[in-house]
Amino acid sequence: LRVGFIRGVAFPASVRQALQDPELASLLVPLYANDLTLSALRGRRVDYVIDDPVTLLQRAERQEGEPLKVVLELAVSPVHLFVSRHVLQQRPELLKRLNQAIARARQRPEWQRVLARYPGVQG
């Protein structure tokens, strides 16, 4: 059994602790980029991968190959939008506009359909 994971990814504390277990650690195969998780899985170099399910499933749908299935959810984390201070200094109104746009988006019916793609996320 081999479990692929992206080298350098910051996992939540509970996942990090589980990954340090010697028995599980012996199964881990470090991969060097997100694109390698799908090719490693489909190429049978690993049996499972730890990756963002939405991103991986979307990539899998765009490429030929067997469909993927999420078999275990290790952790659910919020999605963040990052804006650099440099950009905010150049465009001080940007943060306010982004927050307003997100508030408007949450009012649309499509918002719940998008959130339904992310298991465990509440809108």
Distance between CA atoms of residues 113 and 102, nearest Å: 15
Structural tokens at position 27: 């199964």
- The amino acid occupying position 50 is I
On the CB side of 83, CA atoms within 13 Å amount to 13
Dmax over Cα atoms in the chain, in whole Å?
51
**The predicted structure's pLDDT at residue 122:** 60
**The predicted structure's pLDDT at residue 31:** 92
End-to-end CA distance of the chain: 36
Which residues in the chain show pLDDT less than 70? 77-79, 117-123
**Mind listing the pLDDT tens digit for each residue in 4-17?**
998 888 888 888 88
Strand partners, 7: none
Distance between CA atoms of residues 4 and 99, nearest Å: 36
Cα 24-30-33 angle, rounded to 5 deg: 140
